[in-house]
Amino acid sequence: SSMELQLKARLFVLTLSLFIPGKTRQPSCENDWDFQFCGTWRHGGGSRSLHVNISTGCKDISISANQTTLSISGEIAAQCKRSSVILLTDSAGIHSTESRFCLYWEPFYDQMKFQFGGKNLTLCWPTRLQGSCCTDLSQGPNGPNGYYGIVNGMIKDDPITAETRETYSFSGSPTECTEKLCDQESRKFTSATMVSNGPQSAGNVEHPCARSSEVLMKKDFKGYNVTSPLKQESAAEPAITVQIPPVLKDVAKATNKVVCTFFQNNSLFQETVKSARVLDDVVEITVENEVISNLPEPIRIAFHHDVIPKNCSRKCVSWDTRKDSLQVNWTTDGCETHHLGSDHTECLCNHLTYFSVLVQLQPGPVCHLLALSVVTSLGCATSIISCVAVLIYICRKSRHSKDQSTSIHLGLVVSLLCLNLLFFFTGILANVGGESVCAWVAAALHYALLMSLTWMGIEVFHTFWLVYMVFSPSPPPCLWNAVGYGLPAVPVLVLVAVGDMYGVRDLPGCEDPSDPYQMCWMKDNPRAWLAHYFTTLSILVVVGLSGCVMLVLVFRQISNRDEWRQNRLAFFSMWGLSCLFGTTWLLAFVHFEPFSQFFAFLFCILNSFQGFFLMLRFCMLHRMRKQGGGSALGSSSSGSTRHHMLQAQEKS
């Protein structure tokens, strides 16, 4: 039958395949560039620690775990030697019994990273290219199964086993990095070229993937330029050029050799950078076994990179070795930034370590920062003098008047006086007082701003009460004072108790982002931004929108009066009411091109000169009251109760 014939044919083909050799899969001739092992550590909860014991050689590496300790040990590094105990904290909490971790090893750079609890710890820092490195890690004999250990071990995306093992072992193979690994890299970067050997060069490695250059500083050393082996794809210039000054020869005492190592696309250098990122190109400049700092003549490092938009600030940074050595910490100390174009940045640094350019992603720099600062300072100074004048006027008037509006106006003027006074000196205190002083100044400034917005809200509510609640007694002044002065203090005290909310804040400018304007304000971290949204911006929106509504209602009440048509000075009364009601602060939310700069200047002018505008309003109303025989807008033209209540508000 047909079924029997098909079965015989399949058996014939299967038998034939046993005797005729087929095409087998050839092993890959490429070496592994990296090694990634991930797993879940099943422990007993409580305190946990990482035991590290890494030494030089190329034998094996083992990852083991028990109830309290995760261990990484072996001979695998070219230069790295590390023996330490590190306390571990998991984001899941101390009571969790399982923790996810990953171990990364890159033999080409001789670097090792350990990821645990959302943090990346650098166990072996990248070094210059070695002749031999340990790669091609293969799984060796593993430890027995147990209750505590590593679950779901994986090499990259390939699972090993779902069982709980106490130990995973991997054996490495020594490989000539400058030959085999670089041969692989040369196929990716065929257009890269090395610089020619100069008279001071001790041997640039003539290969596309070689990233390390040694320079001998002889007796007649007059400086030397070291160039990165790789060039930017869109530019003819090399990615990095290092200009070594002659003074380095006099400072370096133990050796006459300086080494420049160039790194590209290195993820380890991105750690601890939240709203920013370093360039793909990083250079390490070292003198063997010496710490070089405070050079009388700086080292010049030129970075040629992709075009960076103006709204993204950039600054030269170096790795800060004074902090935790396990993590990457970038600092601008000791480096000066020169912007030579949107795709060219020059760094002048007085020490030796890792260098790169840090690009700030958000918030972006402020264009025309100097002009805005001058306008704001001038407006604050003018408002301070104006508020003092209004304060004297209100205090004198309050002796002869028992109008409740007087106490409300007094609260607003006092709050604006404090706000402008603190804002005028915040830049000076940020540069002189330090972090501790600036934190208290920032808290006081935040309180003054919230207090000003609160009193503006009270002005809105009181005007509404006069116009639409004419037969109900107005709340006593003590209640207004409790709300105006006490309510804004609540969120400020809570933020002070939480901590890490107030301090020095940098505002970079488009013209020179490396020289930002410093002020005392809320810090640039996620918690401070969240607090800013829920306190300042939320109150601003409520007060501003209610002020706009009340401004429209007041305009409808007085627009039909004869005094409004005859005396155009009444316009200033509406302008003064807009300042009282806080409507000008809504300009903070207007940011659309191409008028964003116009609205930025308008916002600074209207709100920094707010005290001056209020003084003009009081002067205008005082003049109109004298001319009109007691009415704020001239003589009374309406006999309605609401109209007279509005007049009482205008008189005050």
Tens-digit pLDDT profile for residues 179-222 = 666 666 555 443 333 333 333 444 443 344 546 778 888 877 88
Using one digit for the tens of pLDDT, what is the confidence trace for 315-364? Answer: 888 887 666 666 667 788 888 888 888 788 889 998 888 888 888 765 55
Degrees, nearest 5: CA angle 71-74-79? 120
- Asked whether residue 205 is assigned to any structural domain, the reply reads no
Strand, helix or coil for residue 269: helix
Q: Within a domain: residue 341? A: yes
Question: Domain check: are 480 and 513 in the same one?
Answer: yes
User: Residue 291: inside a domain, yes or no?
Assistant: yes
Q: How far is CA 567 from CA 373, 403, 514, 612, in A?
A: 36, 26, 52, 22
Q: Tell me the average pLDDT of the chain.
A: 75
Number of domains in the chain: 3
What CATH code is carried by the domain that includes residue 262? Answer: 2.60.220.50
Q: Are strands 69-77 and 48-56 parallel, antiparallel or unpaired?
A: parallel
357 with 374, same domain: the answer is: no
Q: Quick check: 334 and 296 in contact, CB under 8 A?
A: no
> Which position has the higher pLDDT, 476 or 559?
476
Query: Is 649 a residue whose pLDDT tops 50?
Result: no
Q: Does 285 lie in the same domain as 374?
A: no
Q: Taking the mean position of all CA atoms in its chain, how far away is CA 531? A: 16
Residue 641 in domain: no
Residues 246 and 355 in one domain: yes
- Note whether residue 190 is domain-resident: no
Q: Chain-centre distance of CA 408, in angstroms?
A: 40
**Residue ranges making up the domain that contains 435:** 369-628
Phi, psi angles (nearest 5°) of residue 87: -75, 135
Domain boundary among 301, 333, 361: 361
* The pLDDT value given to residue 477: 77
Supply 196's token pair. Answer: 């020619």
Q: Between the ranges 243-252, 378-387, 501-510, 528-537, where is the mean pLDDT highest?
A: 378-387
Q: Is residue 15 domain-resident?
A: no
pLDDT score of 380 = 92
Average confidence (pLDDT) over 609-618:
85
Residue 470 has φ and ψ, to the nearest 5°, of: -70, -25
Tell me: do 293 and 323 sit in the same domain: yes
Residue 376 and residue 352 in one domain: no
Q: In whole angstroms, what is the distance from residue 479 CA to residue 402 CA?
A: 16
Give the contacts of 46 (CB within 8 A, at least 6 positions apart): 68, 94
Kind of pairing, strands 330-331 and 276-278?
Answer: unpaired
Query: Do 535 and 424 fall within a single domain?
Result: yes
Residue 18 belongs to some domain of the structure: no
When mean pLDDT is compared over 3-7, 64-68, 179-183, the highest value belongs to 64-68
**pLDDT of amino acid 558:** 66
Same domain, 53 and 89: yes
Residues 375 and 357 in one domain: no
355 & 373 share domain: no
User: Averaged over 282-300, what is the pLDDT?
Assistant: 83
> What pLDDT was estimated at residue 176?
78
3-state percent breakdown (helix, strand, coil) of the chain, nearest 5: 40, 25, 35
Same domain (yes/no): 432, 502? yes
Same domain, 385 and 526: yes
What band does 378 get if pLDDT is binned at 50, 70 and 90? very high
SS3 365: coil
For position 447, what pLDDT does the model report?
A: 95
